[in-house]
Amino acid sequence: MLSIRNLAKTYPGGVRALRDVSLEIPPGMFGLIGPNGAGKSTLMKILATLLEPDTGSATLDGLDLVANKDETRRLLGYLPQEFGVYPKMSAVDMLRHLAVMKGITKSGERKEIVEGLLQQTNLWDVRKKALGGYSGGMKQRFGIAQALLANPRLIIVDEPTAGLDPAERNRFLNLLSSIGRNVVVILSTHIVEDVRELCSRMAIISSGELLLEGVPVETIDALKGRVWRKVVGTEAEREAIEKAFPVISMHLVGGLQELRIYSEQSPGQGFAGAEADLEDVYFHHLTRHRPN
């Protein structure tokens, strides 16, 4: 169990990136979603020992991750939003090099681990290709391979599918779903679909604050019968609805705007009931906590 207690971080200049965030994260896939600038990457960097919090603590099965940075790094697998590689090195040579840095010094053990990870991430056939020639999706799969070195107990992946085409995204999500259930895996993203497809628990963070934590299906159930939709034909109609109801989101449907609103009862006025989904949960909580 990863226990996060009252983590706070303010950057020079007064930007409050985290505001007393507390979470209990069990083994398995945990989704952390929020818009860009929400504080997700700051939280991930603190857990990965790359940033020092102003206040608060983070412990994994009793180990203080903030105070014991060397030990934390030995049990951590980290795929940051942007990670560098030596473009002229092959995947197999780079993994061998990183394995030595992780303390896997026995050549036989290292060979077995590296080859197994290349097979697991479906990179075996291109293991001798220079990393500079990898596609975005291949680089992300290599990133997971390096994150899995030395059997980590905490794995952090930060915005892993941003910029991937649909096929590469599916390959990457399938790879993430295959990671064992006995480790804590945090998926930090602003893409709601990634969390819906992978995670048994999730949290929403915005402006450094925790807005919601729970089971995705249960958070959707809480909105059942409270989401309504209507296609509007004019800007005046849209503006009138925005003044009268809490608007969850707007989408284009056939070139027209479809508004989805939150209402405890039928709003009438041509609205139809809509089946709630995780995107509704996400936008509903963001709009409720939007600064005035």
Rounded Cα gap, residues 259 and 247, in angstroms: 7
CA angle 181, 182, 185 (to 5 degrees): 65
Place of tokens 């998926």: 187
Encoded tokens for 274 = 């809509």
22 versus 172: which is more confidently predicted? 22
Amino acid at 173: L
Contacts of residue 113, Cβ cutoff 8 Å, sequence gap at least 6: 99, 104, 149
Q: What are phi and psi of 62, to 5 degrees?
A: 95, -15
Q: Are 208 and 21 in contact (CB under 8 A)?
A: yes
pLDDT band at 2 (very low <50, low <70, confident <90, very high): very high
Q: Return the SS3 of 232.
A: strand
Rounded Cα gap, residues 50 and 144, in angstroms: 19
Q: Return the SS3 of 264.
A: coil
Task: Report the predicted TM-score, pTM, of the whole model to 2 decimal places.
Answer: 0.89
Encoded tokens for 31 = 């989704």
Buried b (16+ CB within 10 A) or exposed e, 55-76: ebebbbeeeebbeeeeebbebb
Mean pLDDT confidence for 118-123: 92
Q: Are 34 and 204 in contact (CB under 8 A)?
A: yes
Q: Are 57 and 21 in contact (CB under 8 A)?
A: no
Residue among 41, 61, 57 nearest 8 (CA): 57
pLDDT, tens digit (0-9, with 9 covering 90-100), for 144-191: 999 999 889 999 998 888 778 888 888 888 888 888 677 999 999 888
DSSP character string of 45-89: HHHTTSS--SEEEEEETTEETTT-HHHHHHTEEEE-SS----TTS
Residue among 161, 101, 91, 95 nearest 123 (CA): 91
pLDDT, tens digit (0-9, with 9 covering 90-100), for 240-287: 999 999 999 998 888 888 999 999 999 998 999 999 999 999 999 998
